[in-house]
Amino acid sequence: MLNSPATENLSSDTESHPLRLLIPVDATDATSHAIDYAIRRAQAGSAVKVSLLYVIEPVNSWEVLKFRTRQEIGEHFQQRSEIFLDEAAKALAAAGIASQRHCRQDETVHGILAFAEEHACDEIVVPETKSCSIFSCGLASKLAKESPGIPVVQIREDGRPLH
């Protein structure tokens, strides 16, 4: 179920628990749209807690494994993930929003959904898909189809929900 909060009322009950947002991160600028959404929610009065997640797809291609070990590949992507997670965390910190950075190796959709469930996230926030990347064509639809009831919010370039 592709869900989004009402755009007129972006605030949540700050006296209960904070709004736990999961923002998957990749190497594209599209992550910034989800960051903008989190900032907008906080500016509207919501207590926001953000988990940033970089998912490393398992590499099973013999063409790659012929030249690099799984450990070398994992270390490479772990180092790359730190760059993108740090960049996203800095943007949130500049807006006064604390975040936690996470990296996991898994298939993208399963990794995102498992993390969201394990960490009791209230929303999974992904940018509107216009080009293929980790936010592969149809990622939001795949997440929504397989989600155990956690809303998947697609975000436009201006940081507003798609629907």
Say which CATH number the domain at 100 has: 3.40.50.620
For the chain, what is the domain count?
1
What's the pLDDT band for 131 if we cut at 50, 70, 90?
A: low
Q: Would 25 be classed as within a structural domain?
A: yes
Task: Measure the CA angle with vertex 54, ends 25 and 161; round to 5°.
Answer: 30
Q: Would 8 be classed as within a structural domain?
A: no
Coil, helix or strand at residue 56: strand
pLDDT digits (tens, 9 = 90+) for 85-116: 999 999 999 999 999 999 998 999 999 999 99
Q: Would 4 be classed as within a structural domain?
A: no
pLDDT digits (tens, 9 = 90+) for 11-60: 444 456 899 999 999 888 888 999 999 999 999 999 999 999 999 887 77
pLDDT at 5: 45
Q: How many C-beta atoms surround the C-beta of residue 69 within 10 A?
A: 9
Q: Residue 143 is part of which domain span?
A: 19-155
Q: Would 1 be classed as within a structural domain?
A: no
Identify the CA nearest to 34 among candidates 97, 105, 80, 111: 97
Q: Would 89 be classed as within a structural domain?
A: yes
- On the question of pLDDT at 8 being above 70, the answer is no
Q: Would 36 be classed as within a structural domain?
A: yes
For the whole model, what pTM was predicted? 0.81
- In the chain, DSSP assigns E strands to 19-24, 48-56, 99-105, 123-127, 152-155
Q: Would 125 be classed as within a structural domain?
A: yes
* 39, two tokens: 């900032």
